[in-house]
Amino acid sequence: MGNDPAHDLAHFRRVVATAKQLCMEESASWEVVMPAAWLHDLVNVPKNDPRRSQASRLSAEAAIQFLREEGYPEEHFDGIAHAIEAHSFSAAIECRTIEAGIVQDADRLDGLGAIGIARCFAVAGLLKRPLYEPSDPFGATRQLDDLKYTIDHFFVKLFKVVDTLRTESGKAEGQRRAKFMREFLDQLAAEIHASKQDG
């Protein structure tokens, strides 16, 4: 996985664990969900790479090649490939199956809550992006730009992800995680404000 701490083996394990839970709750196909969850980011394209929107398609192709070599039953290939392709936010592919919705929810939930905050800042450090714009940290009077400022990413993408969750249990968990993220931002705002007062 290279040097991307947000897409390390722990990320895969969390996504698989969440996908297992959602798969049981939604009575979905275990044979599709599990390999798709394990292999959803098999090809990792960096966030700032122009090929980013192709990452899920490349992952799906690599996953099917791997599963074919391992002798996995081919009747599941279409479902697995679709679930992997559709999980990506940047690819903007509509989920056609409950299995694709589960893999998408599991991956997107890992971008929310405490772990989502940690991953957001890990990627920002990798890309050498500042935490916030000093004069207007939360974009009250400026255009938000998450390619320049880390905090902007919460508003440009992360909070919007909550509204894209597809399963009922995924939606409920997403709301809980988003609440924690808003509390974190409230605390951050208070600390930034206090530092300006002290200055």
Tens digits of residue pLDDT in 67-124 = 999 999 999 999 999 999 999 877 778 999 999 999 999 999 999 999 999 999 999 9
Tell whether the model's pLDDT for residue 183 goes beyond 70. Answer: yes
Q: How many CB atoms lie within 10 A of CB 23?
A: 22
Tell whether the model's pLDDT for residue 199 goes beyond 90. Answer: no
Q: What is this structure's pTM?
A: 0.89
Express the helix, strand and coil content of the chain in percent, nearest 5 each: 65, 0, 35
Share of the chain above pLDDT 70, in %: 93
Predicted local confidence at residue 63, as pLDDT: 96
Task: Work out the average pLDDT over 3-19.
Answer: 89
CATH code for 1-110?
Answer: 1.10.3210.50
Q: What is the mean pLDDT of the chain?
A: 92
Contact by Cβ (8 Å): 108, 91:
no
Domain with CATH 1.10.3210.50 in the chain: 1-110, 111-199
Predicted local confidence at residue 196, as pLDDT: 77
Predicted local confidence at residue 47, as pLDDT: 63
pLDDT digits (tens, 9 = 90+) for 128-155: 999 999 999 999 999 999 999 999 999 9
Contact by Cβ (8 Å): 105, 22:
yes
Predicted local confidence at residue 48, as pLDDT: 62
Tell whether the model's pLDDT for residue 175 goes beyond 60. Answer: yes
pLDDT digits (tens, 9 = 90+) for 28-56: 999 999 999 999 988 876 666 666 668 88
Contact by Cβ (8 Å): 12, 38:
yes
Q: Which CATH architecture has domain 111-199?
A: Orthogonal Bundle (1.10)
